[in-house]
Structure 1
Amino acid sequence: MQKVAILQHAEGEWIGSMQGWFADKEFELQTYRLDFNEALPTIDTFDWLLIMGGPMSVNDEDTYPWLPAEKKLIKDAIEAGKKVLGICLGGQLIACAMGAKVYQNEQQEIGWHTVTKTDDTATWMPDSFEPLSWHGECFELPVNAIPFASSLITPYQGFHLGKYVWALQFHLEAEHGTVDAFYAVEKSLPDGEYVQSEAELFDDTPYLQQSREAIFALLHQMND
């Protein structure tokens, strides 16, 4: 039985469609609500670490005092050879924990925007597709990281460190209800060239199946 620790930072920002992949396999999932000040897991209590999104910045350590300990746990997990997957804020936390800069992008990117594969070792990913993006910050690359995707406004939509550590900017876990949950946290949308309208955002049906297939393929690749 493999143990999976899930780091959650906000209401509604859980593992989404990934739950379906884990459900019929020998995994035990436990969620840690950092936004509720729950204690972090210790390195010996999990085999996988899933780091989810949230509205905060990795640089907001004065506002969110659990961030330094979370970054240390991520770094320790990577160095211990654990399987680590970060999405949006989670991907940025991986970058920051491994010494890379996380910074404000020129514009916010919110919507079902095209992401293009840039590295063939990401065999789980289509050459081009439209996952859900919802971020205003982006990352530089840690040492030895390999970028695997980009979009018009975000040069690095993701990177990996070896086979078992993947950092994604986009929300590959999106399912029906994800946009509603994110919108409930934000409560409004900013203006911007890369911010879709509410009507476009909530029309998620054309995109969810491809995202689900991609995240299942990534989890399968990490589990090999």
Structure 2
Amino acid sequence: MAPKVLFLVNEHLATEGLLGEAFVDQGFDVELFEVVPAERIDDPAVDVAFPDPAGYDVIAPLGARWPVYDEALRRTWVSTEAQLVRDAADAGVALLGVCFGGQLLAQAFGGSVARSSEPEIGWYEVTSDRPDLIPGGPWFQWHFDRWTVPPGATEIARTPCASQAFVLGRALALQFHPEVDTELLERWLADDRDGEVAGIGRTHDELRSRTTELAQSASARVRDLVAGFVTHVVRQPCPSS
């Protein structure tokens, strides 16, 4: 039986993209679970009944436009999702958090998340202490918040502005967006209603051009990232075994 990864699609525009393809390459069956439906995007404080994490080998919370510390969300699905990842960790299920999902892992396991002094949108060089897990080079960013790593976690990648990855047991949290390809970027740019890209002095065309330029190398690095995650995190024995 093939291993299974469950992507938690916290909002409809933050899909699995290249990550889904990379997990398929590793022999995984991919399942998706929608958290906040598109029609609730402007009113996202919904109650959600999540699947049982024990039915999966990997659970991957993905990105979202909202702060993970928003009080209305913490009273509803964010607290439920945080409990889900804690239950998953207790059951030996591996975790891969992406941007909002990485911040959720930080918050769920005792770290903190707050507004960053400098947002990151676009392609940024990421310094990695573990190239077997986080290949070096530029990774795509779109975030306004940053975490402090939870107790017991090890930060393994960073930019000058923010921590970019940490490992805690069988969990890997990422601040950047490895899933982004040209198609997913276009969906995000079309939704840039508040001018977030222009707000940091960049243009949509700049992001398009750089994403097209890096498409082939980025896809290869995503495959390497997922292969490293499977080898060094998913297939490691549980601490209690």
Taking structure 2 as the reference length, the TM-score comes to 0.83
What's the secondary structure of 1:211's corresponding residue? helix
* 1:98-126 deviation line (CA, Å, top 9, x unaligned): 01000000021111122111x2x341433
CA-CA distance at 1:79 after TM superposition = 2.6
Amino acid in the other structure paired with 2:99: C
**Structure 1 position 212 matched with structure 2 position 219:** yes
What is the alpha-carbon distance in structure 2 between the residues aligned to residue 24 and residue 216 of structure 1?
Answer: 8
* 1:31-90 deviation line (CA, Å, top 9, x unaligned): 111103653111222111011101011112414621110000011212322111111001
CA-CA distance at 1:188 after TM superposition = 3.6
* 1:193-215 deviation line (CA, Å, top 9, x unaligned): 5x532221111112233332222
Contact 2:54/2:88 (8 A) holds in 1: no
Q: How does 1:164-179 map to 2 (within 5 A)?
A: 164-179=170-185
CA-CA distance at 1:14 after TM superposition = 1.0
The 1:25–1:130 alpha-carbon spacing in structure 2 relative to 1, beyond 3 Å, is closer
1:52 aligned partner: 62
2:234 aligned partner: none
2:122 aligned partner: 111
Coordinate RMSD, CA, aligned: 1.9
What is the alpha-carbon distance in structure 2 between the residues aligned to residue 143 and residue 82 of structure 1?
Answer: 19
The 1:192–1:115 alpha-carbon spacing in structure 2 relative to 1, beyond 3 Å, is farther
Q: How does 1:140-179 map to 2 (within 5 A)?
A: 140-154=148-162, 156-162=163-169, 164-179=170-185
What's the secondary structure of 1:105's corresponding residue? strand
* 1:141-198 deviation line (CA, Å, top 9, x unaligned): 11111111111222x1111114x311111101111212112223332433555x5322
Q: Which has the higher helix share?
A: 2
Taking structure 1 as the reference length, the TM-score comes to 0.88
What's the secondary structure of 1:56's corresponding residue? coil
Moved more, 29-38 or 43-52: 29-38
Q: How does 1:48-197 map to 2 (within 5 A)?
A: 48-63=58-73, 65-117=76-128, 119=129, 121-127=130-136, 129-154=137-162, 156-162=163-169, 164-190=170-196, 191-193=198-200, 196-197=202-203
Contact 2:109/2:150 (8 A) holds in 1: yes
Unaligned 5+ segments in structure 1 are none
The 1:197–1:62 alpha-carbon spacing in structure 2 relative to 1, beyond 3 Å, is same
**Structure 1 position 223 matched with structure 2 position 230:** yes
Contact 2:139/2:178 (8 A) holds in 1: yes
Q: Alignment identity in percent?
A: 28
CA-CA distance at 1:24 after TM superposition = 4.5
The 1:180–1:31 alpha-carbon spacing in structure 2 relative to 1, beyond 3 Å, is same
CA-CA distance at 1:222 after TM superposition = 2.6
Amino acid in the other structure paired with 1:100: G
1:202 aligned partner: 208
Counting matched residue pairs gives: 218
What's the secondary structure of 2:182's corresponding residue? coil
The 1:11–1:85 alpha-carbon spacing in structure 2 relative to 1, beyond 3 Å, is same
What is the alpha-carbon distance in structure 2 between the residues aligned to residue 25 and residue 114 of structure 1?
Answer: 26
What's the secondary structure of 2:49's corresponding residue? coil
Amino acid in the other structure paired with 1:182: W
